[in-house]
Amino acid sequence: MKFNYSTHFKNCVQSVKEEGRYRYFAQLERIVGSFPNAIYTSPEGKRKNVKIWCGNDYLGMGQHPKVLAAAQDAIEKCGAGAGGTRNISGTTTYHVELEECVADLHNKEAGLVFSSGYVANEGTLSTLGKLMPGCVIFSDELNHASMVHGIRSSKCQKFIFKHNNLDHLEYLLKQVDINLPKIIAFESVYSMEGDIAPIEEIADLAEKYNALTYIDEVHAVGIYGNRGGGVVDERGLMDRIDIIEGTFGKCYGSMGGFITGDAAVLDAIRCYASGFIFTTSLPPATLAASRAAVDHLKESQEERRVLHENVALLKGLLRKSGLKFYDGDTHIIPLIVGEPTCCREVTNILLDEYNIYVQPINYPTVPRGTERLRLTASCVHTKEDIHYLAEVLEHLWIHNHVFNEVKNIEDIEKLKVCV
């Protein structure tokens, strides 16, 4: 029988649907000047106002007047695109200055800007691995897909250590010849758990076993540290980490990824990383927006202060309502549902009846059985927004039949073990 392409792909999607993890994208237009409000367009074409409760623009920089002015200025002066790859006519003053700006953010010799945080992780880890023959990579089991793919395409031997588990990491480090090159790759703030790695202790192990350290600070840059340098900045550990990776796409409100580190290492990545070399470089307006946001957050404490205040308020209200969430001491609040269909149903109710938009987080983004609502307060949510969300969630959890089946509300600690 001839291979039927159409049937094949329909079946692929069908199995995802049966598991309740088909991806429905919510169509949104954010409204400048009134974030986190957005216009939502339903599949039937109906438009209405909603509040976004799952965005990553934690500090509202995507609508900040300085950021918008910088982008507008750049687009007027230099046009829409960069006009080439970095190597062939696409390196602008905006690229050079933004790289200096992030190097300064992390007190490192050099910075390198990529199309996105994903590309930065994938490109850097795969290239580091390929450039060091015999290299062994140690990777936290909850590392982001972009790191996982980078490590995979490095073709290095890899060891996955249990999430934030120092004993397991050391046990694995001991298995490898001390003279071989090694990389420990981990995150500071884990994006779906909202917890923080034991960064200093990992750096100690790296020193003991002579490993290079690579940290993803995507959910921490801008938010932690007096200048927004991330958790490594807040804890005074920047000089203990070899390569720090971040994004402009989350709390800097724009787009693009970056790494910072020693000039020699970054020069090598610049010369070898395919995902850095063979692609059109980011547009000036995007880079100018990122630069304005990073500069602003090196100085201003106000956005961070309000964010942390809002997060504390929301956590307090959820606790008072008896709703259990992972409290990893960060701004990310994962409210566990534990089942994909139910997770989707509750988000539908929130959107349809309460104009609250929270995207359900299902497998493979998180392990099966730990499906969740990942709530993200921002500094542009009002106290009224927060009270309203907490009241609605309490009401749904207590009164809605959807949750009668949910096994893990009581069992959250047990679930945490399986994460």
Ligand X SMILES: *Cc1c(COP(=O)(O)O)cnc(C)c1O
Instruction: Note the residues at the interface with ligand X (CB under 6 A).
Output: 116-118, 121, 144, 146, 187, 191, 216, 218-219, 247, 249, 257
Task: Give least dist CB 104 to ligand X, A.
Answer: 20
Beta carbon nearer to ligand X, 181 or 257 = 257
Beta carbon nearer to ligand X, 144 or 296 = 144
Beta carbon nearer to ligand X, 147 or 386 = 147
Burial state string for 16-32 with b = 16 or more CB within 10 A and e = fewer than 16 = eeeebbeeeebeeeeee
Residues 6+ apart with CB under 8 A from 69: 292
Residue nearest ligand X by beta-carbon distance: 117
Beta carbon nearer to ligand X, 191 or 330 = 191
Task: Give least dist CB 43 to ligand X, A.
Answer: 25
Beta carbon nearer to ligand X, 116 or 154 = 116
Location of structure tokens 């992390």: 106
Q: Which of 51, 108, 250, 324 is catalytic?
A: 250
DSSP string, 275-313: HHHSSBPPPHHHHHHHHHHHHHHHH--HHHHHHHHHHHH
Task: Give least dist CB 144 to ligand X, A.
Answer: 4
Beta carbon nearer to ligand X, 250 or 324 = 250
Measured CA to CA, the distance from residue 367 to residue 335 in angstroms comes to: 14
**Residue 222, exposed/middle/buried by CB under 10 A (0-12, 13-18, 19+)?**
buried
Query: Looking at residue 71, what DSSP letter applies?
Result: H
Measured CA to CA, the distance from residue 292 to residue 252 in angstroms comes to: 9
Q: Is the CB of residue 255 less than 8 Å from the CB of residue 291?
A: no
Helix (H) or strand (E) holding 252: none
Task: Give least dist CB 256 to ligand X, A.
Answer: 7
Beta carbon nearer to ligand X, 113 or 238 = 113
Task: Give least dist CB 134 to ligand X, A.
Answer: 27
416 catalytic per annotation: no
> How far, CA to CA in Å, does 91 sit from each of 94, 114, 269, 275?
8, 12, 16, 15
3-state secondary structure of 159: strand
- Rg of the chain over CA atoms, in angstroms? 22
Beta carbon nearer to ligand X, 185 or 379 = 185
Task: Give least dist CB 338 to ligand X, A.
Answer: 22
DSSP string, 325-351: B---SSSEEEEE--SHHHHHHHHHHHH
Q: Is the CB of residue 64 less than 8 Å from the CB of residue 270?
A: no
Task: Give least dist CB 392 to ligand X, A.
Answer: 26
Output the six-digit token pair for 34: 């009134």
Beta strands 243-247; 37-41: pairing state: unpaired
Q: Is the CB of residue 192 less than 8 Å from the CB of residue 186?
A: no
Burial state string for 149-159 with b = 16 or more CB within 10 A and e = fewer than 16 = ebbbbbebebb
Q: Which residues are catalytic?
A: 250
